[in-house]
Amino acid sequence: MAVRDHAGGFFERYADDTAVYGPFLDGDRYVVERPREVTTARQYLDSDAIFEVALGAQIETALAENYELLWDEAVATLADDFGTELAEYFEPTP
C-alpha cells in the first residue's frame, strides 16, 4: 500500500506542473522529465553547487581556497606530474 500511496503522491505533485514533461509510465514507475540548470559535469564543478554536497572537510577547504578546472586537452598538462597514475586510472588492468 505504501508504494501505491507514494506513486499517487508523485503523480499528483507533477500532474499540473507545466515546467515538466510527464508524468508518464516507464515500466511500472511514474517518471517526469524536467529541465536542469546544470547539465554537464564541467558546469557543475565550475559552479557553487559543488559546495552543496558533503565533500569532506579537507576537500571542501582545498576547493574553497582555490582550484583550477581542467577539461579536454588541458588535462594533458598534468602528464609530466601524474601521467602514469592518470593512465592507470583511466585504463586499469587487473
pLDDT of 33 reads 95
pLDDT of 26 reads 92
pLDDT of residue 7 exceeding 70: yes
pLDDT of 66 reads 83
The structure's pTM equals: 0.53
Sequence ranges of the domains in the chain:
2-33, 41-90
With pLDDT > 70 as the criterion, what percentage of the chain qualifies? 99
pLDDT of 1 reads 53
Report d(CA 78, CA 92) in Å as an integer. Answer: 18
